[in-house]
Amino acid sequence: PTLSVTLARCEIVTPRNRYEIPHNLASAQPEMHFYRKILPKRLPLQLWTRRQLCSKLPEEAKEPPPPSNVVRVRFAPSPTGFMHLGGLRTALFNYLFARSRGGKFILRIEDTDQERLVEGAQERIYEDLRWAGIEPDESPWNGGEYGPYVQSARYEVYKREVRKLMEDGRAYHCFCSERRLDLLRKEAVRLRQVPKYDNKCRHLTPGQIAERLAKNDKFCIRFKVAPKADDFHDLIYGKIVYFLAQNEGDPVIIKSDGFPTYHFANVVDDHYMRITHVLRGVEWQISTPKHIQMFEAFGWRPPQYAHLPLVMNPNGSKLSKRQGDVQLDYYRRMGIFPQALLNFITQSGGGFDRDLVEVTGVQMADLIGHFDIKKINAHSSRLNPDLLKQCNREEIAHQLKHCPEKAAALVQEVIRMVRAEYKDNLKQLDLDEKHVRAVLDWSVTRIDAIQDLVKGKLSFLWVLPKGARDRNVDGDTLAVLAKNLAAEWVPAFTKADLSRFLKAFAERHQLAFDVLMKSLRSCLSG
């Protein structure tokens, strides 16, 4: 008997032909073994049930509509950690590029690396983007025409596309063990060569494949790299030439657990979501020829690529998800405003008209209007922490001067923080809204974040300093000062005039001059 089944139905596929197999392989057990092999072991329960897994092959998904003139970009983070400044910069530049051209910004979650997923990371990524004012047009949370927007929910699409590659002879089963692959790597290192797969399983015959499957041997699926020079135009770096076949072996596109690799799922999703431009970190530039070859193998038109230079720490080291001080939550706790953080990361690496650099209080509309992908630098840039403080001061000033609603919210936030910080001194607190607003206006050039108003040296704004409370200040003298000083004050303010005025004031009100001066010093400086 013959077994002529597609990959999605657990059958063996070879380049454009069907072949005889041993009788025992026609039984259900080998078919289900293959099915279990090609399906992931850890798909969410809400996506797959045994009944669904064993059901008939779903209808072919419709091809996406023909390309239009609408720019479509995507930010595709992996939820293996929380968003940091590098990820925010990538999301922002995609968003600005789309908005500046009247296009769409898509958020796609790439969760193919199931072993490294961090619980809650998907939701945090979405929350961080919204906090920063980067609202997706399409995402797992607000849907869209080209969903699902989570890769683990797109498994049927990947199975179908793998089948096409195998039928066309551009993909094959690989049964090489981890031990063999490790030995290949070690031998390459010993010979001072670039470690790469030697494409051994490319040459297996259909009979050999059937025999290995009958033994329940573990396998993955690899893409056949074409032996040619690969070149493409990078919108930032210009022409890039790379000889993929000389430097790399055939890449894995379906792992042994049944999940697609990043490279394969990335290409399939970019096609079916009609992505026109890909803006991503320069670390992915070396993978772009591989992705373009996959597009070509399918007969699809690849998007245009732009690779953003690295954003580095002040010491020149690379940003990492594992750094606490580059994660967005760190800056939120510090009191950094979203727009200030965006302005901070746009100050490094170019991408904007020169006129924007001199503007203070830059807003999202300004960034969109001045963004120019041609002006992004082709070299790495270092972050300057002092610049972040400046950007936050400018944002506070902008909100107080130009945004009444935000200014009112600032006043309420300061009141909340003061009450929380000085809850033991509530009777001393002056939390009148007008007073708090006056404090904000006075402090705007003196603080880096509104949290500074309840720290250290500025505590005198809310409570009497401890040193002043401990001093023996004469209450009667303070009462006379409070009642009469303003009414009798003279505008002259030289040292001699002030000395004469205070001595005369003490005589008129029968106050000891030294007690008067001590009381004044306590009132003025604590």
- pLDDT tens digits for 232-246? 999 999 999 999 999
- How high is the pLDDT of residue 337? 96
| Least confident range of 188-197, 371-380, 479-488 | 479-488
User: What residues pair up with 73 in beta bridges, in sequence order?
Assistant: 105
Longest distance between any two alpha carbons in the chain, whole Å: 121
Minimum mean pLDDT range among 78-92, 114-128, 417-431: 417-431
Residue bearing the bigger pLDDT, 10 or 441: 441
pLDDT digits (tens, 9 = 90+) for 238-296: 999 999 999 999 999 999 988 999 999 999 999 999 999 999 999 999 999 999 999 99
Place of tokens 């030439």: 241
On the question of pLDDT at 57 being above 50, the answer is: no
Q: CB-based burial of residue 55 (10 Å sphere; 0-12 exposed, 13-18 middle, 19+ buried)?
A: exposed
> In this predicted structure, what is the pLDDT of residue 472?
56
Share of the chain above pLDDT 90, in %: 56
Who contacts 332 (Cβ-Cβ below 8 Å, separation ≥6)?
131
Q: DSSP letters of 332-367?
A: HHHT--HHHHHHHHHTSSEEE-HHHHT-SS--HHHH
CB 308 within 8 A of CB 87: no
Poorest-pLDDT segment among 145-154, 303-312, 484-493: 484-493
pLDDT of amino acid 2: 30
Range of lowest pLDDT (33-47, 291-305, 439-453): 33-47
Torsion of CA 124, 125, 130, 131, to 10 degrees: 60
Query: In this structure, how many other beta carbons lie within 10 angstroms of the beta carbon of residue 79?
Result: 21
Task: Give phi and psi for 235, each to the nearest 5.
Answer: -65, -15
Distance, C-alpha 396 to centroid of its chain? 24
CA torsion through residues 264, 269, 274, 280, sign: negative
Residue type, 253: I
Closest CA to 85 of 382, 467, 450: 382
| H, E, C per residue of 24-74 | HHHCHHHHHHHHHHHCCCCCCCCCCCHHHHCCCCCCCCCCCCCCCCCCEEE
d(CA 258, CA 209): 17
Query: 279 φ, ψ to 5°?
Result: -110, 115
Which CATH number is associated with domain 7-38+154-307? 3.40.50.620
Q: Which two tokens stand for residue 311?
A: 């954003």
Are 124 and 83 spatial neighbours (Cβ–Cβ below 8 Å)?
yes
At CA 74, angle to CA 69 and CA 78, rounded to 5? 165
Where helices occur in 55-214 by DSSP H, the ranges are: 85-100, 121-131, 155-167, 178-190, 206-214
Whether 65 shows a pLDDT value over 70: the answer reads: no
First to last CA, the chain: 98
Polymer length of the chain: 526
How high does pLDDT run on average in the chain? 83
Q: Which two tokens stand for residue 482?
A: 């409070």
| Neighbouring C-alpha atoms within 13 Å toward the C-beta of 511 | 25
User: How confident is the model at residue 29, as a pLDDT?
Assistant: 40
> What residues contact 29, with CB distance under 8 A and at least 6 apart?
none
Cβ proximity of 175 and 169 under 8 Å = no
Q: Which residue has the higher pLDDT, 60 or 167?
A: 167
Contact at 8 Å (CB) between 82 and 327? yes
Q: How far is CA 286 from CA 45, 283, 307, 321, in A?
A: 36, 7, 10, 21
Per-residue pLDDT reduced to its tens digit, 5-54? 333 333 333 333 333 333 333 333 433 333 334 443 333 333 332 222 22
Query: Rounded to whole angstroms, how far apart are CA atoms 210 and 217?
Result: 10
- 13 is written with which tokens? 């596929």
Q: Which of 352, 325, 312, 368 is CA-nearest to residue 101?
A: 368
At residue 213, does pLDDT exceed 90?
yes
Check residue 98 and give its pLDDT: 98
pLDDT tens-digit series, residues 460-491: 888 766 655 545 566 677 777 777 777 777 76
Amino acid identity at 225: V
pLDDT in tens, 379-438: 888 888 889 999 999 999 999 999 999 999 999 999 999 988 888 776 666 688 998 999
Stated as kind and residue range, the H or E segment containing 390 is: helix 385-402
Domain boundary assignment for the chain: 7-38+154-307, 403-463, 468-525
Question: In sequence order, what are the residues at sequence separation of 6 or more whose Cβ sits closer than 8 angstroms to the Cβ of residue 167?
Answer: 13, 15, 16
Residue 409: CB atoms within 10 Å: 12
Question: Is the separation of the CB atoms in 279 and 304 below 8 Å?
Answer: no
Query: Which pLDDT belongs to residue 494?
Result: 82
Sequential DSSP letters for 200-258: GGGG--HHHHHHHHHTT---EEEE---SS-EEEEETTTEEEEE-HHHH--PPEEE-TTS
